[in-house]
Amino acid sequence: MEFAAAGPRVLLADDHHFFREGLREILVSGGMVVVGEAHDGARAIKLTHELNPDIVVIDLKMPHTSGIDALQQIAAASPDARLVVLSVSADEADVLEALAAGACCYLLKDTTADGLIRSILLAADGHAVLSRDVVRALATRAQADSEALRRTSANGISLTAREREVIKLLAKGSDNATIGRELSISRHTVKQYVTNIFEKVGVQSRVQAAVFAVRNGLA
């Protein structure tokens, strides 16, 4: 994704005014341009449509239209926008629901300013980013579901060795170019593998594929 010289354009969605003020200052200091702010999910949906930001940073717990509902509607209407959840919750159910709704990143509100800037810029560049506590929550789930991979095979989903390599790199947040370099294959070939994986496991996004990989012991 290419950005204007001023940096990625960001929309903030959080129902706490003072938190938005502090977040805006942090992101602007990191070279980003905050183009709008929303105090609830409905406003976030409306402003995303009107302003076409590169990134939407959104909380899950907001009045009226929830963050999850907003994520789903924004992902459907503005597929090019990178959706970053910034939440106090590291609960595994919240994380998986947000990622399934279209978020590419899930960060916690206790993330340092530098870490926040770095993570959002990585998200803008096409990467999936998760806070350390979030990764720990997903890892716990993966351990609890250690039998899931065998159940998956029993349900008729079978990935080739190369597809397993690709989905493992997807789970690390690698883009197609990086996967191609890692596996010494062309970007076109990577795209075909990704398409095959999506069809086989029944997902529609790279983040959903990453969640599938974690939950089924493939990453």
Domain positions in the chain are 9-139, 145-215
**Tens digits of residue pLDDT in 155-167:** 556 788 899 899 9
Domain 145-215 CATH (choose: 3.30.70.580, 1.10.540.10, 1.10.150.120, 1.10.10.10):
1.10.10.10
Domain 9-139 has CATH 3.40.50.300: no
3-state secondary structure the chain: CCCCCCCCEEEEECCCHHHHHHHHHHHHHCCCEEEEEECCHHHHHHHHHHHCCCEEEECCCCCCCCHHHHHHHHHHHCCCCEEEEEECCCCHHHHHHHHHHCCCEEEECCCCHHHHHHHHHHHHCCCCEECHHHHHHHHHHHHHCCCHHHHHHHCCCCCCHHHHHHHHHHHCCCCHHHHHHHHCCCHHHHHHHHHHHHHHHCCCCHHHHHHHHHHCCCC
**Tens digits of residue pLDDT in 97-116:** 888 888 988 999 988 999 99
| pTM, rounded to two decimals | 0.65
**Tens digits of residue pLDDT in 51-89:** 999 999 999 988 888 888 999 999 999 989 999 999 998
